[in-house]
Amino acid sequence: MEIIISSGPEMTSFSRAAQREGKRVGFVPTMGALHEGHLSLVRAARAQCALVVVSIFVNPTQFGPSEDFAKYPRSFDHDKAMLEREGVDCIFYPTVEEMYPAGAVTWVTVDGLSEKLDGCSRPGHFRGVSTVVSKLFNIVQPNAAFFGQKDAAQVAIIRKMVRDLNFDVQIVVCPIVRESDGLAMSSRNAYLSPAQRKQALVLSRSLQRVQSLVEQGEQSASRLIDAAKQVIAEEPAVRLDYFEIVNADTLDLVNSIDGGALVAVAAYVGSTRLIDNTLFKASNVS
Sign of CA dihedral 218, 221, 222, 226: positive
Half-sphere exposure at residue 121, Cβ-oriented, CA atoms within 13 angstroms: 16
φ, ψ (nearest 5 deg) of residue 260: 95, 155
φ, ψ (nearest 5 deg) of residue 161: -60, -45
CA–CA gap between residue 167 and residue 173 (Å, rounded): 16
Among the listed residues 35, 38, 78, 125, the single catalytic one is 38
- What residues contact 124, with CB distance under 8 A and at least 6 apart? 61, 62, 64
CA–CA gap between residue 269 and residue 190 (Å, rounded): 12
Q: State yes or no: is 125 an active-site residue.
A: no
Catalytic residues: 38
